[in-house]
Chain A
Amino acid sequence: MGVRRHSPIAPWLFGAPALIGLMLFLVLPFVMAVILTFTDQRLVSPRPGAFVGLRNYQRLLSVGALVQTPERSAAGAPVYARVRSITRGNRAYAGYRPLTAFRLGNRRVTVLATDPAFLQALGNTMLFAVLVVPLQCAMALGLALLVNAGLRGQTLFRAIFFSPVVMSMVIVSVVWAFLFNKDLGLFNQALGWISLGAVRPVDWLGNPATAMPAIVIMSAWQGAGFQMLILLAGLQGISQELYDAARLDGASAWQRFVHITLPGLRQTVLFVAVVTTIAALGLFTQVDVMTGGGPRGTTATVMFEAVRHGVREENIAYGATISVVYFALITLVIVVQQAIRRRRGGGVA
């Protein structure tokens, strides 16, 4: 029996188990989700879903603007008519809600959207990613350098730093919600003690300005152990000879870090940053447990909105629309990024 070297079937045959899995659990559900977005399907309903065209996309993505001149002036400050009364009373603005407003001379321009909560959630998710990725990667790098420095008991510290990763995110979130509590939480008590009562208690999760940073800090703490492990592997892959040669040339510890460690870790850091970004864009559990999207929607994320509409309000078609639009946005970002990199002539990858 001769072995055919170039059988066209063989690669498919070997790939089949994985491919079938991917088709069944990734591609097929996604195609179904895309179909759902054109219907008014509910999660449970005695009626089958009907085709509604682009209605879900219109409801999700429509934006507009309302320009107002002041009605009168009270104590020097211009007074405008209530936006919500105008949008609810005028058919042309039916379904629109204010997203944000700014002043242009004495006119007030209100940006309207049919689903401002989604746009706010999109902004929140990007903000979270922008804050958490550098913080978490820096923390992970610091920890990796620390446990790679040849200090005593470093295996124990590796285990300690990694332990939050294996804990359930729900449990970590519940515990941190206690730590962040305004009146009895550890952070405020510590702050008050250190400052001898000068720092007023901060309502970490109840204040729109601090809620997202609080979640960022907690998420970075929880996830950094995983990135630490990958960076540690990268660190140990850098040849010791380079360090020895640098030492002979009289390079300081900082020079060795900048000129040997960082370039040597370039690929690893890139990988870690990509993995962290992907995880950051899927932020859900912390928000659901710690803030429920509040206060005033400042911690709601895209995934949270998708679950809220799709599952909790049982409007699965709208939830699917959010997911599909989100997928398209992320794909767009990646395609643009790749195109720029290719134009620059290869880049890293």
Chain B
Amino acid sequence: MRGSGAPGAIIMTRVASLWRYMAAMPSLVPQPIRIDCVRRAVVLFGLLLGSCGPPPPRGDRIDLVLWKNQVGLDEAAITNVLIDRFNAGQHRWRVIAQSLPQGGYDQSIVAASLAGRMPCIVAVDSPMVARYAWAGHLRPLDGQVSAALLRRVSPAAVGRYGGHAYAVGQFDAALALYTRASILRRMHTRVPTLDRPWTGAEFQTLLERLKAEGAYRYPLDLATRDDKVSWWTYAFSPMLQSFGGDLIDRRTMTSAEGVLNGAPAQAFGAWFQALFAKGLVARAEPDENAFVKGRAAIAYSGDWWEPDFRKAWGSDLLVLPPPDFGHGVVIGGGSWQWAISRTCPHPDGAGAFITFMLQDKQIAAMSDASGNVPVTEHAAALSRDFGPHGQSRVFFELMRRFARQRPATPAFPTIANAFTFAMRDVMDGKDVHDSLDDATDDIDRALADTVGADDCGRARGAR
């Protein structure tokens, strides 16, 4: 078992330190017998662990502990393969990976940072990078990962704050509309392309005709049964941007006034509310299989659903860009990224690891094994699935053309919460303008409270 290596190594170091502790207190026990026993036990225990863990360090390798969120089996397996490749490819560093449950990942980072026990390398969710940088959990990548290398990576996959790059992703994700070619033929609707996506009006007409046809109780699935703040912000703030609004004013990064509650945002809110009022979208689907089971004609979801959809509909499946509501197609950019903790004693080792992970070959290996979207042009070309003729190429194109990062500000948790609560109220019929004003006031207050004058300046510089 690959995954058992890391905890095994930790226990070994614990046992070794216990042995040192015992040895330092010789007066407590009849020394010869006891120490001998302990030593023998340690050796036996070590052998036991060694049989299933990685080989013990050779020479003077330095251990670098890495924390990542627990992910799907494919992604976890390929990450371990890449870490093993890194460890085997040089003799200075040895990366030891530990997986933490995703639900409590943020709290674990915060707790570790407060206790001064951060690992050297951490995986960070893209919208949290600014917050971690501001809170002092991370150190800039400056000097550890070359700027030339970062320039090759798609912009949304680099986490910047205060004029510095703090994190960089090996992969990204992409949102798309999924539907079936047979449905569009039946509706006599054109198949949109990346260059000519549906307009908002075209999309609306299609939905209403699908509803009128009567075959679908709710033609569109927006995954609104998932009430998590992360999904609502990731999925629906790009639509808000396509209408011409935004979560906050990205020129100043100090206010949402006029942007989140202006005329374009109100138009977006009214449209969103009408989706539910007209019965085009279910408020809460009973499960997440509305599209797979044929209950919905169109689904709005991420690239991670493509394998299931493909299995259900085969060559009938269409992966389409989201509609252009007037200001271009927008999808969310930025997935989990690698960063170096502030307290890491060997940032050069962490930098070497991140540089290794950004090699086109490793990116392509990650993408082909896990289905995640590669972040460089060359890696995509190397990849089987994301190459010019690969079956998942469309996601790379969507990401390259339309991905926009969520705002890089330490107040992101408040922004995401306020936006989500406002949109859920809008969905349930509350006055659109009032809801957006509420969210705007919450965000502006949080920005004024947390991000004082000095931080605002830094945030502005980050752009």
Which residues of A pack against B, CB within 8 Å?
Answer: 40, 42-47, 82, 84, 88, 95, 97-98, 177-178, 181-185, 203, 205-206, 208, 292-297, 308, 312-315
Contacts A313-B414, A313-B446 given; indicate if A203 touches B283 (C-beta within 8 A).
yes
Q: List 19 A-B contacts (CB under 8 A).
A: A42-B450, A44-B113, A84-B434, A84-B437, A95-B445, A98-B434, A181-B284, A181-B286, A183-B217, A183-B282, A184-B286, A206-B284, A293-B421, A294-B227, A294-B428, A297-B425, A308-B417, A314-B414, A315-B414
| CA of A95 to CA of B424, assembled, Å | 22
Contacts A206-B428, A296-B429 given; indicate if A312 touches B417 (C-beta within 8 A).
yes
Tell which of B227, B283, B425, B441 touches A296, judged by Cβ atoms closer than 8 Å: B425
Q: Do B110 and A44 touch across chains, with their CB atoms under 8 A apart?
A: yes
How many B residues, CB 8 Å from partner?
A: 33
| CA of A312 to CA of B103, assembled, Å | 12
| CA of A210 to CA of B286, assembled, Å | 18
In the complex, per-residue mask of B397-427: 1 if CB is within 8 Å of any chain A CB, else 0? 0000000000000000110010001001100
A46 to chain B: which residues have CB within 8 Å?
134-136
In the complex, per-residue mask of B51-83: 1 if CB is within 8 Å of any chain A CB, else 0? 000000000000000000000000000000000
Tell which of A42, A84, A295, A308 touches B428, judged by Cβ atoms closer than 8 Å: A295
| CA of A89 to CA of B424, assembled, Å | 26
CB distance from A95 to the nearest CB of B (A): 7
Q: Which residue of A lies closest to B131 (CB)?
A: A44
Q: Do A294 and B413 touch across chains, with their CB atoms under 8 A apart?
A: no
Tell which of B134, B421, B433, B446 touches A315, judged by Cβ atoms closer than 8 Å: B446
Residues of A contacting B: mostly: loop
| CA of A315 to CA of B415, assembled, Å | 13
Q: Confirm or deny: B36 has a beta carbon within 8 angstroms of a beta carbon on chain A.
A: no
| CA of A52 to CA of B437, assembled, Å | 26
Contacts A208-B428, A312-B417 given; indicate if A95 touches B286 (C-beta within 8 A).
no
Q: Which residue of A lies closest to B133 (CB)?
A: A46
Q: Given A44-B131, A95-B445, A205-B284, 11 more contacts at CB 8 Å? A: A46-B136, A84-B433, A84-B434, A95-B441, A183-B282, A206-B428, A292-B227, A295-B428, A296-B425, A313-B413, A315-B449
Contacts A296-B425, A296-B428, A312-B417 given; indicate if A88 touches B437 (C-beta within 8 A).
yes
Q: Do A43 and B110 touch across chains, with their CB atoms under 8 A apart?
A: yes
B217 to chain A: which residues have CB within 8 Å?
183
Q: Which residue of B lies closest to A43 (CB)?
A: B110
Q: Confirm or deny: B152 has a beta carbon within 8 angstroms of a beta carbon on chain A.
A: no
| CA of A294 to CA of B232, assembled, Å | 15
| CA of A315 to CA of B445, assembled, Å | 11
Q: Which residue of A lies closest to B454 (CB)?
A: A47
B306 to chain A: which residues have CB within 8 Å?
none
CB contacts under 8 Å to A, within B172-207, are none
Tell which of B229, B449, B450 touches A312, judged by Cβ atoms closer than 8 Å: B229
Q: Confirm or deny: B377 has a beta carbon within 8 angstroms of a beta carbon on chain A.
A: no
Q: Do A206 and B283 touch across chains, with their CB atoms under 8 A apart?
A: yes
Q: Confirm or deny: B209 has a beta carbon within 8 angstroms of a beta carbon on chain A.
A: no
A98 to chain B: which residues have CB within 8 Å?
434
Q: Confirm or deny: B34 has a beta carbon within 8 angstroms of a beta carbon on chain A.
A: no
Q: Confirm or deny: B348 has a beta carbon within 8 angstroms of a beta carbon on chain A.
A: no
| CA of A292 to CA of B450, assembled, Å | 26
Q: Confirm or deny: B249 has a beta carbon within 8 angstroms of a beta carbon on chain A.
A: no
| CA of A208 to CA of B283, assembled, Å | 13
Q: Confirm or deny: B84 has a beta carbon within 8 angstroms of a beta carbon on chain A.
A: no
| CA of A47 to CA of B136, assembled, Å | 10
CB distance from A155 to the nearest CB of B (A): 36
Q: Do A45 and B135 touch across chains, with their CB atoms under 8 A apart?
A: yes
| CA of A43 to CA of B131, assembled, Å | 12
Contacts A292-B424, A314-B413 given; indicate if A97 touches B438 (C-beta within 8 A).
yes
Tell which of A42, A181, A203, A294 touches B424, judged by Cβ atoms closer than 8 Å: A294
Tell which of B284, B434, B449 touches A40, judged by Cβ atoms closer than 8 Å: B449
Task: Pick from B229, B425, B428, B434 the residue with the most CB of A within 10 Å.
Answer: B428
Q: Confirm or deny: B430 has a beta carbon within 8 angstroms of a beta carbon on chain A.
A: yes
In the complex, per-residue mask of B226-253: 1 if CB is within 8 Å of any chain A CB, else 0? 0101000000000000000000000000
B282 to chain A: which residues have CB within 8 Å?
182-183
B449 to chain A: which residues have CB within 8 Å?
40, 315
Q: Do B424 and A178 touch across chains, with their CB atoms under 8 A apart?
A: no
Q: Which residue of B lies closest to A292 (CB)?
A: B227
| CA of A98 to CA of B438, assembled, Å | 10
Q: Do B428 and A178 touch across chains, with their CB atoms under 8 A apart?
A: no
Q: Which residue of A lies closest to B229 (CB)?
A: A312
Q: Which residue of B lies closest to A291 (CB)?
A: B227
| CA of A265 to CA of B458, assembled, Å | 68
B428 to chain A: which residues have CB within 8 Å?
206, 208, 294-296
Q: Do B425 and A82 touch across chains, with their CB atoms under 8 A apart?
A: no
Q: Which residue of A lies closest to B135 (CB)?
A: A44
Q: Which residue of A lies closest to B436 (CB)?
A: A84
CB distance from B360 to the nearest CB of A (A): 36
Q: Which residue of A lies closest to B109 (CB)?
A: A44
Q: Which residue of B lies closest to A180 (CB)?
A: B284
| CA of A88 to CA of B283, assembled, Å | 31
Q: Which residue of A lies closest to B137 (CB)?
A: A44
| CA of A313 to CA of B452, assembled, Å | 17
Q: Which residue of A lies closest to B452 (CB)?
A: A47
A183 to chain B: which residues have CB within 8 Å?
217, 282, 286
B450 to chain A: which residues have CB within 8 Å?
42, 45
| CA of A84 to CA of B433, assembled, Å | 9
Task: Pick from A42, A293, A308, A313 the residue with the most CB of B within 10 Å.
Answer: A313
In the complex, per-residue mask of B116-149: 1 if CB is within 8 Å of any chain A CB, else 0? 0000000000000001001110000000000000
| CA of A293 to CA of B89, assembled, Å | 52
Q: Which residue of B lies closest to A318 (CB)?
A: B449
Q: Do A313 and B417 touch across chains, with their CB atoms under 8 A apart?
A: yes
A295 to chain B: which residues have CB within 8 Å?
424-425, 428-429
| CA of A170 to CA of B134, assembled, Å | 34
In the complex, per-residue mask of B435-459: 1 if CB is within 8 Å of any chain A CB, else 0? 0011001000110011010000000
| CA of A185 to CA of B285, assembled, Å | 11
Q: Do B425 and A294 touch across chains, with their CB atoms under 8 A apart?
A: yes
| CA of A313 to CA of B450, assembled, Å | 11
CB distance from A287 to the nearest CB of B (A): 11
CB distance from B278 to the nearest CB of A (A): 15
CB distance from B282 to the nearest CB of A (A): 7
| CA of A42 to CA of B447, assembled, Å | 12
B438 to chain A: which residues have CB within 8 Å?
97
CB distance from B362 to the nearest CB of A (A): 32
| CA of A98 to CA of B430, assembled, Å | 13
A84 to chain B: which residues have CB within 8 Å?
433-434, 437
| CA of A195 to CA of B445, assembled, Å | 52
B441 to chain A: which residues have CB within 8 Å?
88, 95, 97
A40 to chain B: which residues have CB within 8 Å?
449
| CA of A314 to CA of B229, assembled, Å | 14
A43 to chain B: which residues have CB within 8 Å?
110
User: Which 5 residue pairs are nearest across A and B when measured between Cβ atoms?
Assistant: A295-B428, A292-B227, A184-B286, A181-B286, A206-B283
| CA of A40 to CA of B227, assembled, Å | 29
CB distance from B256 to the nearest CB of A (A): 13
CB distance from B458 to the nearest CB of A (A): 12
